[in-house]
Structure 1
């Protein structure tokens, strides 16, 4: 066992703020001169990033969950597949793609994974943790969901097994916004295996609105009942970190992010709410632009109030394509005459057809007709492309006037055939017309040149005056660190204050 200390940020449930706390700790420790690295033994997310692979991989690039990429940036270390050695990417019908050391290992039902492949995942995770521990002083590990799922305690890689294999101290995070925080924390502690319960160093209450003094009597009683100190109460404050999974989106209906209520100087970018949506963090940079509203809309929605449409990535292009067509979205999109951008799987949706479709779909299919907005055709193959890339931007259509380098990453299985007559504004695999763009480049809108050109095109189509940019916003990593350092007793965790 290496000498590095591991702190496991576990939770009483999903979406309680574990990722924010972990990122805040990573940035605070990095600011304090501590060599720190993030870690999540097993993640389940379709929001992934392409990063350099570890020495254990047989390829130069691999993919990890977006939260560990974010936490690596917070820790000011290059992200690698060691930060998230096991990744499950759901694709529907209770089946997920298993990614080990950044490389796709196959598609498995949940039972098959736990019966036949979990031991491989644990071995991969332990080796990755040992490599990180050899290079850093502190590892901030993030758990997954609830640490108290008693039916999973014998195979809970992200929580129970991480605590054991890393000899970790455990910090339990509980969300008070939904109510029942004290009961949830008490029940969680009672249900932990004895050896893991002994590792709990404290708990943090998150997402509190109001006067913390109102919690004092409850905190005193829960500390007396459990012997676990409450080390902080974090106010409800979103630092703006990319979301890890689609829990931040509603299961159904319309959800709007970004600018406040619509007015004569705002524009709306409509995004179809795909059942198998992935890498929707591609849209977050647009939602941070003054005046821009990003609206996730149901597939059956009309686009009458949209000023642009962006089709996001999808873990299962074929099944999402069929679902959108059945809902009438294809006809609605063809009738829309504003800027349209397709990102990765969204790009594939815009083409004439998808062939060899059975590679991705759970059904035995050969060909599925696309929306036909771009004269391209995509063929699926077994091999997945995973790579960070830099492209030269030669803006046409929705990116008209933009030029220069843009960087991002590609994660996809399909290969798109682009006619020579069609412009390639974002590298050779991209395609564009005067108003439609398709590209495999995730992170396109993180590049200011591309983002500004697209927003300008949307405002031009909407025939509205674009509002002036607001003042500079604090880095989300620094904002997360401020939350932690201002509201958590770090000294009690034996961390720099």
Structure 2
């Protein structure tokens, strides 16, 4: 019988996903077979498993921390918001339907048995399961049908650790209020508290720590400092705060490249650009207003869960005309997935937003027709051998990534293929994909994870450096995969230093003994 621990939070974005990744890393370092689990995830950052199943990026990077392959059982339900009221419901990696919030709340009880079976299937293969909640367990208006917080903890009888974010203020009130709103049986399940993102001298915090322990009867297991650790964020809420990698300056490199990602209202898979942000010579900025665009070295139009709606935003905000003007002045533009579609001449069909058709930015001679069938594949391929301009030095470089899109894009006579796909979900094929203009200054692709490919990224960045008269950096200088492994280890080391990990082991062992005794 596997052991389990569940991380719940006093609110969204308190650091649950990162702490789950850290525990997965610690337990794996200690020789245990460990896996993450989140029954229901709401996020626009998703990825594809080796079987072509779609799941949340948070559980993917948690699996990476545990040193195992992502498995859709780690995230059986994924909700991808398409508007303020509706979400696409993805069940076990496949699209089920679109639902509004009320309909989904009514539907949740039908998912309980399947979630329980999926969890047990995964738990049988691992020694320790680290579960993550969503939002807060004190959302009392949703408690009667909960499947992701205390409802999930009760389903599999897991002990809970409550995480509170001191950086946003009111940490003791949030701890006390959360516990006060729980039912007695739920409060008994909370075995400890972690105070996260602390800045300053922890000695000044200790009187408050002692008082909150006395008031609640729940021990504080640790105070985590605000870490400068570079790991994936679960969703776009961090972009809305305006703090996410907005001004990544590099102290070691005077000659930095200024790269802008257009911050679309329904931006998806912005984790595509983490590998760029980590490069030693890149300053990555997310820009939502025309006056902040400046004159970057490269503009990226990212993926979107509401492509036509976000295209409307670009037009209405003035960003569309600014992007076109920058391109006309010689600035290269790359589009990923929905961004690729937006860069074309025409987008047809109202599957996503109810808009029949729209003109795109016109940077690529392409036309996209939306369809209801969703393509979800892992892919291998290469940069097309006939690319020109900025991308010419990257001809035939290998690529690994994944596709998540609804719609087919056809190229016109003034574009050529940007990539060649050689396999989808490990099935060999030969398929010309994406588009690049005749000048080689605008390109689009459906491949997510494009910049995780080290040689392609460094070759592109070196071309941008050459355009500024800066010497190139070696292709092998930076490995994003090694960088991520280092970040996981930094996180684990900090958690061992600031959290009572031995007490967490004891909590799991005691709960396992209690279950066995019943």
- TM band (smaller chain): over 0.9
> Aligned partners of 1:260 and 1:373: how far apart in 2?
31
Correspondence for 1:431: 435
> Aligned partners of 1:259 and 1:424: how far apart in 2?
34
1:55-74 per-residue CA deviation (whole Å, 9 max, x = no partner) reads xxxxx421111110000111
> Aligned partners of 2:43 and 2:403: how far apart in 1?
16
Correspondence for 2:426: none
> Aligned partners of 1:330 and 1:220: how far apart in 2?
54
> Aligned partners of 2:361 and 2:152: how far apart in 1?
45
Matched, 1:182 2:172: yes
1:247-268 per-residue CA deviation (whole Å, 9 max, x = no partner) reads 2113579972422499961221
Q: Tell me: CA distance 1:249–1:118, structure 2 relative to 1, closer, same or farther (3 Å).
A: same
Q: CA deviation at 1:349?
A: 0.5
1:215-248 per-residue CA deviation (whole Å, 9 max, x = no partner) reads 2211111111211111111111032111111121
> Aligned partners of 1:132 and 1:351: how far apart in 2?
43
Between 420-429 and 230-239, report the one with greater CA deviation. 420-429
- Alignment partner for residue 256 of structure 1, among 246, 249, 261? 246
> Aligned partners of 2:14 and 2:40: how far apart in 1?
18
Matched, 1:61 2:52: yes
Q: CA deviation at 1:119?
A: 2.1
Correspondence for 2:306: 316
Correspondence for 2:511: none
Correspondence for 1:165: 155
Matched, 1:140 2:130: yes
Correspondence for 1:26: 24
The answer to whether the 8 A contact 2:418-2:444 is kept is no
Query: Secondary structure at the residue paired with 2:168?
Result: coil
Correspondence for 1:57: none
Match runs of 1:49-448 below 5 Å: 49-52=47-50, 60-115=51-106, 117-250=107-240, 256-260=246-250, 265-301=255-291, 303-336=293-326, 337-356=330-349, 358-361=350-353, 363=354, 365-394=355-384, 396-402=388-394, 403-419=396-412, 422-427=415-420, 428-433=432-437, 434-448=440-454
> Aligned partners of 1:295 and 1:430: how far apart in 2?
25
1:76-110 per-residue CA deviation (whole Å, 9 max, x = no partner) reads 11111101100110111411100110111111110
> Aligned partners of 1:277 and 1:310: how far apart in 2?
12
Correspondence for 1:16: 14
1:105-151 per-residue CA deviation (whole Å, 9 max, x = no partner) reads 11111011112x21233333222111111111111011111121111
Correspondence for 2:514: none
Query: Secondary structure at the residue paired with 1:111?
Result: helix
> Aligned partners of 1:155 and 1:188: how far apart in 2?
18
Q: Tell me: CA distance 1:448–1:252, structure 2 relative to 1, closer, same or farther (3 Å).
A: closer
Query: Secondary structure at the residue paired with 2:246?
Result: strand
Correspondence for 2:42: 44
TM-score by length of 1: 0.92
Q: Tell me: CA distance 1:470–1:74, structure 2 relative to 1, closer, same or farther (3 Å).
A: closer
> Aligned partners of 2:247 and 2:25: how far apart in 1?
26
Q: Tell me: CA distance 1:176–1:456, structure 2 relative to 1, closer, same or farther (3 Å).
A: same
Correspondence for 1:55: none
The answer to whether the 8 A contact 2:397-2:456 is kept is no
> Aligned partners of 2:4 and 2:388: how far apart in 1?
49
Uncovered stretches (5+) of structure 1, i.e. residues with no partner: 53-59
> Aligned partners of 1:255 and 1:240: how far apart in 2?
10
Between 396-405 and 155-164, report the one with greater CA deviation. 396-405
The answer to whether the 8 A contact 2:334-2:444 is kept is yes
Q: Tell me: CA distance 1:27–1:251, structure 2 relative to 1, closer, same or farther (3 Å).
A: closer
The answer to whether the 8 A contact 2:379-2:400 is kept is yes
Uncovered stretches (5+) of structure 2, i.e. residues with no partner: 421-431, 509-518
Query: Secondary structure at the residue paired with 2:81?
Result: strand
Q: When the two structures are aligned, how many residues end up with a matched partner?
A: 484
Between 196-205 and 340-349, report the one with greater CA deviation. 196-205
Q: Tell me: CA distance 1:251–1:31, structure 2 relative to 1, closer, same or farther (3 Å).
A: closer
Correspondence for 2:462: 456
> Aligned partners of 2:85 and 2:469: how far apart in 1?
46
1:37-67 per-residue CA deviation (whole Å, 9 max, x = no partner) reads 1000101000000114xxxxxxx42111111
Query: What CA RMSD, in Å, does the superposition of the two structures yield over aligned residues?
Result: 2.3
